Structure 1
Amino acid sequence: MAYRHAPGYRDDERCEIVACADLVEENRDAFAEEFNIDDEGVFEDYNQMLRDADPDIVSICTPVPTHAPIVMDCIQSGVLDAIHCEKPMATTWGDARLMAQEAGRRNVQLTFNHQRRFHPDWREPKQYVDEGEIGELQRLEVACGELLDNGTHFIDLANFYNDERATDWVIGGIDYRNEHLKYGAHNENHGMAMWEYENGVHGLITTGFGEEAVPATNRIIGTDGVIEVHPSGASGYRIRRAGESEWDVHNPETGYESSIAAGINHIVDCLENGAEPELSARRALDVTEIIFGAWESVRKRGRVEFPLRIDDNPLEEMVESGALSPTPADN
């Protein structure tokens, strides 16, 4: 992902890539060569990079369990104006809350890379929703491989379509029979969760590779129509309004990487004008609360009311306690 973030900075005339850090020498040297970073800007230790390079913005593109400690070190360094971190936020709800809290307390702009908000496939449907093309919003459905890794994107989009409304409760169920670690974090094999927003709109997510019950990555259901984004694995989106028998199909021709660059351009804009970024930690927390709340629902075997009052990761704790015993993955 570092190779996808970097062009966003390189191609923004307001930015200059001055340093990078990586524990692996060949990795940091290759990255530095690719993006023309001088030798004095290449570091093994990111704390040393912060001290010596004195950057304004950093992107954190590391495995999920390292997000919280690196973000906290960056916030507490007193050097940075902004931090742009890969998703998902963290492996525990407590760490996710702490990062957002401390960034706010120290006036550091903290964002997370939910870049799909800036891709036309997902962004254009929001305009149709806002213009009432499908009537009053009723339900938002999501389908993806895993709740934490993939789901963070598509739940974020559900929140986006519902104008960032607060969530009142969530209820979930999962199957975790085979160990599935992705970027260092546990993810269920197959799952389902439902939640309700304060305005009465409901969200539904189904997960599992090849087992998703929702026929699109995002399905937006209103009183007078339906929008499906990436229906049945296809690109683009389609709309079917009430009374119509055929889908109105749209296929914007924009690459995936362009949405990452657009997100970085947006966070630089917000750093300049003081506006809250669409990718803000506050909004990422709303997504993360639904994810950990769904797993907490599995642990407590009941509906979970928000605010979520835990600190740990319920899925990890259930594995550690033996409540779930996934077959270890082959190394």
Structure 2
Amino acid sequence: MKYRAAIIGCGKIGSEFSDDPRIKDIYTHSGAYSSCPDTNLIAVCDSDLGKAQKCANRWGVPEVYSDFRTMLEESRPEIISVCTPDATHYQIIQEIMEYNCIRAIFAEKPLALNISEAKELIHRAQEKKIIVSVNYFRRYAPNHRELSLFLQDKTNIGEIQTVSGYYTKGILHNGSHWLDLARFLIGEINLVQGFPVTSIITDDPTVSAYLLFNNGASGFLFGCDEKMFDIFEMDIIGTKGRIRILDSGHTIEKYHVEDDPNYSGYLALAIGLRNSGGLTDSLLHAVEDIVRCLKTGGEPICSGLDGLEALRIGQSIRESALTGKKIVFHNE
């Protein structure tokens, strides 16, 4: 049996990245549903009907809409992706859950723009027994899942001491990807302090932040100017080695400790392995994970609760950047 899937929002992550000749793998929701043997992409929707039609033509989708309510009433999908602008997520997801045909929602991040709205969505989904999966896509990537297991084995790089990194384009929009990955690889965060990069604080500013993890590791996330270039990196320092995540996660370097070749009696870090290409087909793996949950009743690799936590940390960093005060919170 194939699950009936639909998409709201036919922009870049919805479909258009698949037209980029530099992107060789499955990197869109449309591409993922079309490639997964357990799903059938039956309908697409965008407020720009021309964009929706282009998406439908690209993927051979029979039903095209400019209004998602009409699509839900007529097409009756079981799985639906929300790929619309951040500020629309809460309202759209809220309405989607009132349609009895919906069994799973695959949402772009952030889940909502504030904690109370995100909590409301998760509570309603639990009441309706609807699976909510959030597209922090690195969790689904084979290289990052392998890295998570690698870090859990303390014989590899030992206990994590510090983590640092760089991002652009808003602490909620892109910074939350970094925060979610830090939780996935290192553990829960219980203290943050934000620092403004510019004098202008928007609803989703690009700010820097100090982080303290439950396991005692500390970290610093640097916000960078997106007008100059895009960057997403993470550097994890352990007691026995180091991990560098580069090129937005496409490349992972592993370092070990050995005798310093330049100075007798000292130890240094030396690169042991450098892997590239591990983000391949991450969106397909995300859809496969949703199918797994529908079949088995399991929890998604990146659940609505994970989306809520990334939002909570990001909002705390923003608040701290405004007030200049550290924020301590307990994980729920």
> Do both share a fold (TM > 0.5)?
yes
Shift of 1:254: 4.4
Bigger proportion of residues as strand = 2
**Structure 2 unaligned runs (5+)?**
1-12, 16-27, 259-267
CA distance in 2 between counterparts of 1:46 and 1:62 reads 11
Shift of 1:152: 1.4
Aligned to 1:312: none
**SS of the residue 1:67 aligns to:** helix
CA distance in 1 between counterparts of 2:71 and 2:226 reads 43
Structure 2 length normalisation: TM-score? 0.81
Aligned to 2:78: 56
CA distance in 1 between counterparts of 2:99 and 2:232 reads 42
- Tell me if 1:280 matches 2:280: no
The size of the alignment, in residue pairs, is 295
Of 169-178 and 289-298, the range deviating more from structure 2? 169-178
Asked whether the 8 Å contact 1:121–1:229 carries over to 2, the reply is no
Q: 1:105 to 1:307 in 2, by over 3 A?
A: farther
Aligned to 1:29: 53
Structure 1 length normalisation: TM-score? 0.81
**Structure 1 unaligned runs (5+)?**
181-185, 310-331
Shift of 1:80: 0.5
CA distance in 1 between counterparts of 2:245 and 2:227 reads 18
- Tell me if 1:168 matches 2:183: no
Calculate the aligned-residue CA RMSD, in Å: 2.6
**SS of the residue 1:49 aligns to:** helix
Q: 1:254 to 1:223 in 2, by over 3 A?
A: closer
Of 112-121 and 23-32, the range deviating more from structure 2? 112-121
Of 63-72 and 195-204, the range deviating more from structure 2? 195-204
Shift of 1:92: 2.0
Asked whether the 8 Å contact 2:138–2:249 carries over to 1, the reply is no
Deviations 1:205-260 (A, max 9, x none): 11113899xx97111221111111117x895111222235421232233455x111
Shift of 1:109: 0.5
Shift of 1:94: 2.2
CA distance in 2 between counterparts of 1:265 and 1:196 reads 34
CA distance in 2 between counterparts of 1:136 and 1:117 reads 21
Aligned to 2:9: none
Aligned to 2:221: 205
Q: Of 254, 260, 266, which aligns to 1:239?
A: 254
Aligned to 1:293: 316
**SS of the residue 1:2 aligns to:** coil
Of 239-248 and 220-229, the range deviating more from structure 2? 239-248
Asked whether the 8 Å contact 2:194–2:320 carries over to 1, the reply is yes
Aligned to 2:19: none
- Tell me if 1:19 matches 2:43: yes
Of 62-71 and 242-251, the range deviating more from structure 2? 242-251
Q: Of 167, 170, 175, which aligns to 1:144?
A: 167
Aligned to 2:126: 104
